[in-house]
């Protein structure tokens, strides 16, 4: 057993890849006997607090009279400073620069000295959205330069980050990982619940933000020739209502099943035959990785970090952005040849286990922590 660390992790509790990753990392580190302190304004849905080595610190957000909008950065900074000082944290790992790394830097200034070390992981929008906004760009750059180490979840995001900011730190790529949980219901139960018989099932899981391009998702389904044997199941992390009229106009309502507020995604991942993702921007796409761990291929656009996750024609199909016609052809091919879908899915699982398991990725974060601590002691 190596050195036991006291680690603060700051993440968003919302439905989204970064919160899932931060929660999984907290649980994996605790299992490796490190003490974990998780900070957020709500408990993330996948963070299991049964492990006594994980403590959750809820950040109180007050909306005082002179504030037009609730302010989160300062209460977060104060909470981190209090816990870091009383528990003598070695590391603060901020998932997202804004406002998590910013609050971490303020917290360290409040305490004084150079401990804890601050590690910032960029998940995407810090660079691709906020980094393009002059009201945020320099704050993000400052937080990244004040961090003791910066990581990105893909090489693609690393390149975008270097182009966007003037960064003094070396940026290390640490890919996302996923640890599948066991389904709690059978495939038959799920197929019955959704009334999908033995049709080919495409699965899409996302928060439906504009970047996910749900319009292209539905248009791709509409372009498929094999619709009589095809269903698209959407695990919707936010209301789907605004897309219903497009689904109606495209005549695909009978091919569509929307499931809201579902956290037990494993039940649907095991039932699906393939994943379908039509985002215009994606630094990694954790949903594709989850799909791979359940032995299913994915069909997606070849954008951002997705080619680092999916091997085109081996573990899924990648198409040029907006080429929904070729995307639909790939789907039809899999509907016609389920053996091919199963074979590609098998390779997807193998690829995921070999490259994106917790046992491979968590030590890379630990190594980043230890290097930051060692450098600080030189
Ligand atoms: O876009 C989302 O779905 C949410 C967002 C988040 O921060 O939770 O996802 C980002 O982080 C994920 C975990 O690293 C990545 O898998 C996603 O690709 C990334 N989203 C974008 O880059 C748009």
Nearest to 57 by CA among 66, 67, 47: 47
pLDDT of residue 261: 86
Q: Is the pLDDT score of 69 beyond 90?
A: no
DSSP result, 292-357:
HHTT--EEEE--TTHHHH--BTTTEEEE-TT-HHHHHHHHHHHHH-HHHHHHHHHHHHHHHHHHS-
* Cα 284 to ligand 1 centroid, rounded to whole Å: 7
Distance CA 344, CA 355 (A): 16
For 175-189, write each residue's pLDDT tens digit.
999 999 999 999 999
Residue 226 in this model has a pLDDT that exceeds 70: yes
Residue closest via CA to ligand 1's atom 2 equals 16
Average pLDDT of the segment spanning 142-156 = 97
> What pLDDT, in 10s, does the model give residues 73-114?
999 999 999 999 999 999 999 999 999 999 999 999 999 988
The pLDDT-based confidence of 2 (bands split at 50, 70, 90) is confident
Atom of ligand 1 at shortest range from CA of 237: 3
* Atom 20 of ligand 1: nearest residue by CA position: 282
Report strand pairing: 298-301 vs 274-277.
Answer: parallel
Distance 3 CA to ligand 1 centre (A): 31
Q: Is 322 left (phi over 0), alpha (psi -120 to 50) or beta?
A: left
**11: DSSP letter:** -
| Cross-strand bridge partners of residue 38 | 9, 56
Alpha-helical runs (H) found in the chain: 17-31, 73-87, 102-111, 125-128, 137-146, 155-164, 187-194, 214-223, 244-249, 266-271, 286-293, 306-309, 324-336, 338-355, 358-376
- Pocket test of ligand 1: the residue of 9, 15, 122, 125 to mutate, having most ligand atoms within 8 Å of its CB, is 125
Indicate which atom in ligand 1 lies nearest the CA of residue 286. Answer: 16
- Residue 44 tokens read as 């993330």
Q: What is the mean pLDDT of residues 253-281?
A: 96
Mean residue pLDDT across the chain: 96
How confident is the model at residue 284, as a pLDDT? 98
Q: Is the peptide bond before 173 cis (omega within 30 degrees of 0)?
A: no
Portion of the chain with pLDDT greater than 90, in percent: 91
pLDDT value, residue 312: 98
DSSP 46: T
C-alpha–C-alpha distance, residues 78 and 82, integer Å: 6
Compute the average pLDDT of residues 276-300.
98
Summarize the confidence of residues 33-48 as an average pLDDT. 95
Q: What is the pLDDT of residues 237-251, one digit of tens each?
A: 999 999 999 999 999
Q: Which atom of ligand 1 is nearest to the CA of 19?
A: 8
Distance 15 CA to ligand 1 centre (A): 10
Task: Reply yes or no on whether the pLDDT at 65 is more than 80.
Answer: no
What is the reported pLDDT for 222? 98
Distance CA 301, CA 324 (A): 9
What atom in ligand 1 is closest to the CA of residue 206? 3
Round to whole Å and give the CA distance between 324 and 219. Answer: 7
Indicate the DSSP class of residue 42: S
Q: What does the pLDDT read at residue 63?
A: 79
Average pLDDT over residues 133-138: 94
Average pLDDT of the residues in 11-33:
94
Q: Residues lining ligand 1, CB < 6 A?
A: 16-19, 21, 123-124, 153, 176, 206-207, 209, 211, 281-286
- Is residue 310 predicted with pLDDT exceeding 80? yes
pLDDT number for residue 377 = 66
Domains of the chain: 6-178+357-376 (3.40.50.2000), 187-355 (3.40.50.2000)
Contact status, residue 297 vs residue 344, Cβ threshold 8 Å: yes
Ligand 1 centre to CA of 99 (Å) is: 16
Q: What is the mean pLDDT of residues 117-138?
A: 94
Q: Which residue has the higher pLDDT, 15 or 175?
A: 175
pTM for the whole thing?
0.95
Q: Whose CA is nearest to atom 17 of ligand 1?
A: 285
Which atom in ligand 1 lies closest to the alpha carbon of residue 281? 23
Residue with tokens 């680690």: 7
């Amino acid at each position: 057993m190596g050195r036991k660390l006291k680690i603060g992790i700051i993440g968003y509790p919302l439905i989204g890849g970064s919160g899932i990753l931060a929660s999984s990392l907290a649980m994996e580190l605790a299992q490796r006997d490190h003490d974990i302190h998780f900070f957020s304004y709500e408990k993330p849905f996948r963070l299991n607090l049964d492990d006594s080595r994980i403590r959750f610190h809820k950040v109180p957000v007050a909306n005082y009279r002179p504030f037009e909008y609730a302010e989160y950065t300062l209460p977060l900074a104060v909470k981190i400073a209090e816990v870091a000082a009383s528990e003598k944290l070695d590391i603060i790992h901020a998932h997202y620069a804004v406002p998590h790394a910013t609050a971490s830097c303020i917290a360290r200034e409040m305490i004084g000295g150079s401990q804890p070390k601050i590690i910032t992981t960029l998940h995407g929008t810090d660079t691709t959205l906020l980094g393009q906004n002059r009201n945020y760009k320099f704050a993000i750059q400052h937080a990244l330069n004040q961090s003791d180490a910066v990581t990105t979840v893909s090489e693609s995001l690393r390149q975008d980050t270097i182009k966007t900011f003037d960064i003094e730190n070396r940026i290390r790529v640490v890919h996302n990982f996923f640890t599948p949980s066991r389904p709690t219901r059978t495939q038959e139960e799920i197929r019955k619940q959704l009334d999908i018989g033995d049709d080919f099932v495409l699965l899409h899981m996302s928060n439906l933000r504009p970047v996910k391009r749900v319009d292209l998702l539905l248009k791709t389904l509409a372009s498929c020739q094999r619709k009589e044997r095809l269903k698209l199941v959407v695990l919707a992390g936010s209301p789907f209502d605004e897309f219903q009229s497009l689904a109606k106009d495209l005549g695909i309502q009978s091919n569509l099943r929307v499931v809201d507020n579902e956290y037990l995604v494993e039940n649907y991942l095991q039932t699906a035959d393939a994943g379908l993702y039509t985002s215009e921007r994606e630094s990694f796409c954790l949903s594709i990785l989850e799909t791979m761990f359940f032995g299913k291929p994915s069909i997606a656009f070849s954008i951002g970090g997705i080619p680092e996750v999916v091997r085109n024609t081996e573990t899924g199909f990648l198409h040029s952005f907006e080429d929904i016609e070729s995307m639909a052809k790939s789907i039809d091919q899999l509907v016609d040849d389920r053996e091919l879908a199963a074979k590609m899915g098998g390779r997807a699982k193998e690829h995921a286990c070999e490259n994106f398991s917790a046992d491979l990725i968590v030590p890379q974060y630990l190594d980043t922590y230890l290097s930051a601590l060692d450098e600080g002691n030189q």
